[in-house]
Amino acid sequence: RAKESGRNGFQYYSQELTARAFDRIPLESGLYYAIERGEFCLHYQPQFNLQSRRLRGIEALLRWQHPELGMVSPATFIPLAEESNLILRIGEWVLVEACRQMKDWLEHGLFAGDNLMSVNLSPKQFDHPDLVASIARILSESGLPAHQLELEITEATLMRAPEQAIDVLFRLRELGVKVAIDDFGTGYSSLIQLKRVPLTTLKIDRSFVTGLPYDSNDVAISRAVIALAQDLCLEVLAEGIETEVQHNFLICEGCLNGQGYLLSPPLEVSDLQMRLADWQAAP
């Protein structure tokens, strides 16, 4: 388990929500209709190559604009959706929308042919027998090249049933999509298993970036993940970079990619489009 981050970052979601989050009933019933009512949208957080400052890609982050509660955090409603099979429909909506949007941006020349769209998959989605077929269908319907889609699964998802997971990952690789392990660094003992697993990226969990460079445990874990990624020829990306010292430390340690509030918060479509030209022009 990731340790809890002590920071609050942006005051992003409504205050009211915190109190009401314990009252699950209105959330659960509202969630059921949220797709058809058009209450979901995606925000996108850019990921950069920390050394060249070049844009690597963007991570799609789901947002729910609740009619009464305002913006509800995915940390609140994804676990609820995960308890029912709603997460499958929601996850499919996210994939379809993210692929459609990226293809549209590519056609308008806003992204390059090697920029990535990263999409989070929940454990239930990953375990579903139709996952690979449905990704293949969504790619072909959207026209997004497979190599520009990166799926983020958590370490926990991978480790629950490693043999099945590895089989799915091989099929995803055959399809040509990339796979990142999100929130990595928590299941230390399982690192060794990764040798056999077809992956592309390790994302260092934000909870370990928070304490850099002062917390010696965070330093040790970040170093270990960076070294492991190098040994396995995987990309490594640090999430939750908030300060210059974290940023500089990660560069010195050889972590090539990062995302976080220091570089940019997640942005709604219009804000992202406004800033893209700058980032794409960066040295």
Report the interface residues with Mg ion, using CB under 5 A.
120, 152, 182-183, 206, 239
Report the alpha-carbon distance of residue 199 to residue 252 in Å, rounded.
24
The interface region with ligand C2E, picked from 19-27, 114-122, 156-164, 272-280 by CB under 6 A, is: 114-122
> CB 156: neighbour CB atoms within 10 A?
16
Q: Interface with ligand C2E includes 238 (CB under 6 A)? A: no
Residue nearest to ligand C2E (CB): 9
Nearer to ligand C2E among residue 253 and residue 281 (C-beta): 253
Interacting residue with ligand C2E among 126, 194, 260, 272 (CB under 6 A)? 260
Report the alpha-carbon distance of residue 179 to residue 172 in Å, rounded.
8
Nearer to Mg ion among residue 92 and residue 183 (C-beta): 183
Instruction: Tell me 89's DSSP state.
Output: H
The interface region with ligand C2E, picked from 3-11, 129-137, 138-146, 172-180 by CB under 6 A, is: 3-11
> Least distance from C-beta 54 to ligand C2E, angstroms?
19
Close Cβ partners of 153 (under 8 Å, ≥ 6 residues apart)? 121, 123, 126, 179, 180, 181, 182
The interface region with ligand C2E, picked from 19-27, 70-78, 102-110, 212-220 by CB under 6 A, is: 70-78
Among Mg ion, ligand C2E, none, residue 94 binds (CB under 5-8 Å by kind): ligand C2E
Per residue in 71-110, is it b (16+ CB within 10 Å) or e — as a string? ebbbebbbebbbeeebbbebbbebbebbbebbbebbeeee
